[in-house]
Structure 1
Amino acid sequence: PLLQLVWLDAGPARPGRLLVVVSHLVVDGVSWRILLPDLVAAWEAAGLGRPARLDPVGTSLRHWSQLLAVEARRPARAAEVTLWADLLGVADPPLTAGRLDPVRDTVGRARECTLSLPPEVTTPLLTTVPAAFHAGVNDVLLTALALAIAEWRRRHGRGRQTALLMDVEGHGREEIVDGVDLSRTVGWFTSLYPVRIDPGPLVWAEAVDGGPVLGQALKRVKEQLRLLPDHGMGFGLLRHLNPETGQRLARLPVPQLGFNYLGRFPSAGTAVVPGSPEWTVASETGLLSGADPATALAHGLEVNSMVRDAPGGPRLEAVWTWAPALWSEQHVRVLAEQWFQAIRGLVRHGDRSGTGGHTPSDFPLTELSQHDIEQLEAAWRIQK
């Protein structure tokens, strides 16, 4: 079954519960933002004896899938295979003593822990810090993660390398083909692509304190991520929809670490649709994950994060999942705390006057270097 709905009637004096269970095969996180308002609109129309009149869907999932199959074989897209092969071809020093085993390291044997950041840290993480650097939340999170991994390597005798190779999962709704509109398309959109980011050398105490080198690290990572065309959409196309490039990419190693930022979701008690207070998110709600226990883990360590918009303010929630044969719970928790320390450091850095600024990707029609931009910004501040 791809869809089941169960109405739990609590009687005339108490609100009931509508349980909506949809397979991940046909929905993603963005799909819920389409389905739930449509459900409320249809319910209200039915209560008034009218047929539901929902907004049209611009591009169907079927048509989008057909367009992707064509795009994967387009010569300009196929030429990207060199970029991805070069990225994965560079040596990636191991984070653990062992390697991932598809027989031993399965979903059923995986361990996980969940940690969260309070609103006073999460709010600037979502607003002032990315705004100051003309960046996205992912840029900030990945910069902090690269810093934490580099410090973890140093403390555990895994070298002093600061570059980090990982798989990043995206929402996959990049409208890379002209004439499409995915704003109301329900389905499982996703993209998974490797990134190699290097925040540069940094003293950990400076990172925790929010020193000025953090700004340079964030700008560096932001530019490295911008070098990947179409937010990495091409990798999946060439890996799975183009037989020629797919064979080449399949022979390359898989990164040891996986990362996914799912975005923002309402917490319990929040209205599903503004202006409809009778429909709220139930306290039992959750983005549940189910998989065959025998499924092989894709990575030895994965971080899945999201923001819960609670009444007291937003909270960043991170679920760490690992293969216990490779990672101990103590090591994972230490790494998770270091990631949060680096995030707090970036927030402290963003609070200081004079921080932030642009990077070359903000000016695609020019050939300004980072040095040129910073000189112009300094001159503008003096004149101002």
Structure 2
Amino acid sequence: MLDERIAAVPTGSVLDLVDLSQIPAKLQSARIAHMANEFQTTLEFSKQLYRFVRFDLGPNRAGRFLLIIHHAVFDGYSMLLMLQDLHDKVHALGKGEIPPAPAESTSVREWAAFLQRYSDSPEGIRESAYWTSLRWQDTRDLMDYPQGFLSNKSGKEAFRGTETEVSQYVGLEHSQFLLERGRLGSFSISDIVLTAMAHAIARVNGSKVVSFDLISNGRAPVFRGIDLSRTMGWLADNVPVLIELEDYSGVENKLAEFVKQFNAIPNSGVGFNALKYLSSDEKIRERMHAIPVPEILVNYIPDVSGAMSPHDKELKERPEQLQFRVAKESHGQTEPPADKGLHRASCATISVVKGRLSIVWNFRDNVYQKDTVALAASYWKEEMEQIIAHFQPRPSVAAQARRIGRYLSSSLRKNG
């Protein structure tokens, strides 16, 4: 059945050409944004899954290229792969060279067939026992108004709350210290970010058992003979994470215990939804469905700006060689505003913004009080800075004395 659904991918018009060359330049951006919104609404799962639009802005003006692809067949990682391939091809053609063929990897069809087999394998059955043995019943919600979440999912727009967000930024000095090193001791940035998240949640809801869903790109190299590193498709997945917290003495013990439990998740969590939806054993499917879906969705977006190939570095140093770059115009609305954020009680996105680690926490005001989410976000920042500060070198006594001396001298001059 999976095979049939994958084979029956509908297609429509591949490329639309829009001539805006006769429109005054100062009006072109607004027209592009308006038309982008209209093109976004043309995707339909049963008829049209992707659409590409080329806007001609006239002679001596760079055109615009709009890519619209349904999330059902594409994820963020796929977009990075496609843009990389597109850039390399355009760059090669611009130099009069034949574009290199991209490396092949496991296809979506092959991956789907593997997951089907895995869900019924002895290894898959053993994995199901891991998931059902965790203390899901001991977790607590952050939600102030659980009924509001049910109202949001009811489909009745009148009962929906207003989409809201809060944000926090780790200090620049702390952020740079972590980002420049890539890890602290034996702990990766991901270890630190997620440890801070688990402890922030616990500080708000008072529970020693914390859970959240973690967005994964679904391409971890965990199975022999499976290579998804260059596979385009919707492979991104949500992996439920449950951590039992104790009052550990010392930052490194806190980190080590989180990493120990996180690394105990079988196969990076790839099998969770395969067992939940594909297992032929009805009892396994029922037990997996009985596991509560965590209310908080965590989306950690690593900073990849430092992972540049020699060709990328050349382009950064000589930007005039770039064949295309992100346009200033809007790409249109990708989902109806009223539907945003309804599938999960809240979503915390952790990324790097202008050199600083940040958290942006989205929620609806009929599910949480703003103060509750703001407190959780501030605790995350506090946990991050405490962890990073633990690894930062302490100034020597002499350096501290010189700093105090400069401060006192400055104060005396001002008061003199």
TM range (shorter): 0.7 to 0.9
**Are residues 200 and 250 of structure 1, via their aligned partners in 2, closer, same or farther at CA, if it must alter by over 3 Å?**
same
Partners in 2 of 1:287 and 1:265 — Cα distance?
26
1:11 CA drift (Å): 4.8
Partners in 1 of 2:332 and 2:270 — Cα distance?
24
- Tell me which residue corresponds to 1:263: 302
Question: Contact (CA 8 Å) 1:263, 1:307: kept in 2 or not?
Answer: yes
Equivalent of residue 120 in structure 1, options 160, 173, 189: 173
Partners in 1 of 2:234 and 2:368 — Cα distance?
30
**Are residues 52 and 8 of structure 1, via their aligned partners in 2, closer, same or farther at CA, if it must alter by over 3 Å?**
same
Mapping of residues 240-319 of structure 1, within 5 Å: 240-244=277-281, 245-264=284-303, 273-276=312-315, 277=319, 278=322, 279-283=324-328, 290=335, 293=338, 297-308=342-353, 314-319=355-360
- Tell me which residue corresponds to 1:182: 228
Partners in 2 of 1:180 and 1:334 — Cα distance?
42
**Are residues 102 and 339 of structure 1, via their aligned partners in 2, closer, same or farther at CA, if it must alter by over 3 Å?**
closer
Deviations 1:301-343 (A, max 9, x none): 22122335x5xxx333433122322202232122212211211
1:96 CA drift (Å): 3.2
Question: Contact (CA 8 Å) 2:148, 2:367: kept in 1 or not?
Answer: no
- Tell me which residue corresponds to 2:250: 213
- Greater alpha carbon shift after TM alignment, 101-110 vs 25-34: 101-110
**Are residues 27 and 128 of structure 1, via their aligned partners in 2, closer, same or farther at CA, if it must alter by over 3 Å?**
same
Question: Contact (CA 8 Å) 2:164, 2:364: kept in 1 or not?
Answer: no
The answer to whether structure 1 residue 65 and structure 2 residue 112 are counterparts is yes
Question: Contact (CA 8 Å) 1:125, 1:347: kept in 2 or not?
Answer: yes
- Greater alpha carbon shift after TM alignment, 283-292 vs 10-19: 283-292
- Greater alpha carbon shift after TM alignment, 232-241 vs 110-119: 110-119
**Are residues 16 and 351 of structure 1, via their aligned partners in 2, closer, same or farther at CA, if it must alter by over 3 Å?**
farther
Partners in 1 of 2:331 and 2:393 — Cα distance?
37
1:350 CA drift (Å): 1.8
**Are residues 37 and 256 of structure 1, via their aligned partners in 2, closer, same or farther at CA, if it must alter by over 3 Å?**
closer
* 1:246 match: secondary structure: helix
Equivalent of residue 341 in structure 1, options 382, 387, 398: 382
* 1:177 match: secondary structure: coil
Question: Contact (CA 8 Å) 1:103, 1:296: kept in 2 or not?
Answer: no
* 1:303 match: secondary structure: strand
1:217 CA drift (Å): 0.9
* 1:263 match: secondary structure: coil
Percent identity over paired residues: 25
* AA in 2 matched with 1:306: S
1:175 CA drift (Å): 2.7
**Are residues 200 and 330 of structure 1, via their aligned partners in 2, closer, same or farther at CA, if it must alter by over 3 Å?**
same
1:92 CA drift (Å): 1.8
Unaligned runs of 5+ in 2: 1-47, 395-416
Question: Contact (CA 8 Å) 1:265, 1:307: kept in 2 or not?
Answer: no
**Are residues 138 and 170 of structure 1, via their aligned partners in 2, closer, same or farther at CA, if it must alter by over 3 Å?**
same
Partners in 1 of 2:311 and 2:381 — Cα distance?
30
Pairwise CA RMSD of aligned residues? 3.3
- Tell me which residue corresponds to 1:192: 238
**Are residues 229 and 129 of structure 1, via their aligned partners in 2, closer, same or farther at CA, if it must alter by over 3 Å?**
same
**Are residues 221 and 273 of structure 1, via their aligned partners in 2, closer, same or farther at CA, if it must alter by over 3 Å?**
same
- Tell me which residue corresponds to 2:268: 231
Equivalent of residue 21 in structure 1, options 68, 81, 102: 68
* AA in 1 matched with 2:177: P
Question: Contact (CA 8 Å) 2:275, 2:285: kept in 1 or not?
Answer: yes
* AA in 2 matched with 1:181: D
The structure where helix makes up a greater share of residues is: 2
Question: Contact (CA 8 Å) 2:116, 2:274: kept in 1 or not?
Answer: yes
**Are residues 215 and 140 of structure 1, via their aligned partners in 2, closer, same or farther at CA, if it must alter by over 3 Å?**
same
- Tell me which residue corresponds to 2:192: 140
Query: How many aligned residue pairs are there?
Result: 330
* AA in 2 matched with 1:44: H
The answer to whether structure 1 residue 152 and structure 2 residue 212 are counterparts is no
- Tell me which residue corresponds to 1:365: none
* 1:337 match: secondary structure: helix
- Tell me which residue corresponds to 1:78: 125
Question: Contact (CA 8 Å) 2:163, 2:341: kept in 1 or not?
Answer: no
The answer to whether structure 1 residue 42 and structure 2 residue 81 are counterparts is no
* 1:19 match: secondary structure: strand
1:216 CA drift (Å): 1.6
* AA in 1 matched with 2:243: I
1:21 CA drift (Å): 2.6
1:26 CA drift (Å): 2.3
1:17 CA drift (Å): 3.5
- Tell me which residue corresponds to 2:397: none
- Tell me which residue corresponds to 2:218: 172
* 1:80 match: secondary structure: helix
1:53 CA drift (Å): 2.9
